[in-house]
A and B are shown apart, each in its own frame.
Chain A
């Protein structure tokens, strides 16, 4: 493996982490939006809050990580993507602001109306942001992003069936992951009714995600032949693995199994991300820019790999500490959603 390939792998680790953790975070926002207003929806929304509260911020650092590795390791790809896809990426950036602010302020807002508004904005931005990010991925996979400063078409590059399907797929995947996570969280909080509530949603979103993935394959077949062939070729084992994981999650959820669904769901998503990476190897931008051609000078790549190593050594233990502390303390000390649905006024 060349140094450039190693940096591309680091980039892909960032993409995977963001797809899983960021995706689940977006999905949580979607379920917040879809939960009924008023008392009926309050308990699921409280659970969502409780579950993502400690980690919502750290989850999004993966996005920054991915951007920085991309512009440092493969600056010309970064230039091409961000200039041609100016519109969806601008919308995604604004979505991130609205989402972050919505989440932060619904926590602090005192008055009910302010809280509701912040929460609605948070939910809406959580659906739109991953959609726009998905259209970007669709544009890249479809080979519609030529090298250069805004060399591609500003609109058709991302408003096309492939991009739109992948955009929808991103939203659905997040919803699916997050519902699976929330099933475990409900169990942790010992609220069986919410466990069922999210299990149903996990099943529905799993089916929708599967359907969109199939539609995506059809579109790839028609408009992104190189990637499609890659998925059918080198990446086939990962595609199969993903399907197997996905189906296993469905079975587990249906049976109400206690463990296993969470890692399998993560496995299903991670193997698709890596399948895509392998399918378009050795290209960064399919058929216009190869990894080797787009890579930074060797000193930059080496330093980037060293920094990544340092990050792993420093950040992972700290992150582990936070996750344990958060899970333990929250369970021990704070109230959870009440065990039974509560009707009427508080």
Chain B
């Protein structure tokens, strides 16, 4: 196998495993918060339905956390298996963030188990409080991992910049400039994705005529959280885009298909990026310049500013991913407004089937936006693994066989994903038919009870 072919396999495997993990990670960050909101409501207002939701969601947390943890372990291996030269050179720089992440995940795993045991074992409020560290650890974990990615985009805090690293400034590494927008953007994304996914499940139930209070509450709690997060996400994303135009101009040029450095640059919505400009799509003259610097005469750096080996690949995909993320965000803001108006008028969510249908697809839409955002970040960073410092092609393993492992990973993950979905669906079916007792999860006292048969 040539190195070039290994590189393609390694990038594909990394992208696939990350794209898979990030969905579970988002649930791991935000589902505990939804669970606690329901728990709080249940205790505060003596609301048995809310408590029941909290209990169910805590079981879903257990299952997704377990799968999130194994897929995360694979990612840690991949830092060595796929990118040994990257980790060999810079592990001493970004590794500290993973050490902090380790504490967070450890605490998260422990407190999830405590919370699940606590349902029957602790006083209600004490039990509620054992859930709080889960939420905090989730935020801390998200901060530290995403900060690694931010550092890869805007590296600083080590020297020398070529060859072996001999000195490191941890605080500069941790608080690199991209943390300011990447971390909040990702955390909001986690809340928004989780909120819309959970709401969409209950929306489907309502559409099928299950109009009990559990379903209504199960829709309302997550949807409210997600709808609050969405407009903020728009603002944060916008500031991210501007920061990228300033600090990673070639990435920005790739995202926006800007060939030549100039002023009065046209903003294209979709369209194909070709060597002779954008084909198709909707062009808004001067708008790209305006978005970057509030004036149509702002100069925007084009791809021609660097040699062709230094430009990101697959510009059309990059551009579409960026536009799709923004488009979905805009639609979701529409959904939020719809909910807001309904609530303002009737103190309830809009009682039309169209609202429920829109909510039912919002979960998938949010996941698509999440994946698109990461494609923008990661493919846009190419050909660099550490922006302007180390090339991805210099980081990849010299071992043979990555295509084989990629094939195996694909097969196993497809089975894993299918099993996860089947399991979660079966759990919810059992909740409907058999009540609470019947569901077993990978942690917790009920799990795997050795039966007394005979």
Contact = CB atoms under 8 A, between A and B. Distances in A.
Do A and B interact?
yes
Contacts of A61: 102, 105-106, 109
Contact of A68 (B95, B170, B397, B409): B95
A65 interface: yes
Given A75-B92, A78-B87, A103 B442 contact: yes
Contact of A93 (B73, B101, B419): B73
A54 B442 CA distance: 8
B169 A311 contact: no
Interface stretch (B116-124, B185-193, B202-210, B377-385): B116-124
B117 A325 contact: yes
Nearest to B157: A299
Contact of B84 (A107, A149, A310, A321): A149
Given A53-B448, A75-B95, A83 B453 contact: no
A130 to B, nearest CB: 15
B114 interface: yes
A82 B84 contact: yes
A193 interface: no
A41 interface: no
Interface in A48-87: 49-50, 53-54, 56-58, 60-61, 63-65, 67-69, 71-73, 75-76, 78-84, 86-87
Interface string A23-67: 000000000000000000001001101100110111011011101
Contacts of A58: 106, 109-110, 113
A296 B80 CA distance: 17
B63 interface: yes
Interface string B170-211: 100000000000000000000000000000000000000000
A315 B408 CA distance: 35
B308 interface: no
Given A64-B102, A296-B168, A78 B450 contact: no
B117 to A, nearest CB: 5
A94 B113 contact: no
Interface of B: 63, 65-67, 69-74, 76-81, 84-85, 87-93, 95-96, 98-103, 105-107, 109-111, 113-114, 117-118, 120-121, 133, 165-170, 397-401, 405, 408-409, 412-413, 415-416, 419, 423, 426-427, 430, 439-454
Interface of A: 43, 46-47, 49-50, 53-54, 56-58, 60-61, 63-65, 67-69, 71-73, 75-76, 78-84, 86-87, 89-90, 92-94, 96-101, 103-105, 107-110, 149-150, 154, 189, 296-297, 299-300, 303-304, 307-308, 310-311, 314-315, 318-319, 321-322, 325-326, 329-330, 333-338, 342, 346
21 contacts: A46-B449, A57-B109, A58-B110, A58-B113, A60-B69, A65-B102, A68-B99, A72-B99, A80-B84, A82-B80, A89-B81, A90-B401, A90-B405, A94-B409, A96-B73, A107-B448, A307-B99, A325-B118, A326-B113, A335-B452, A342-B454
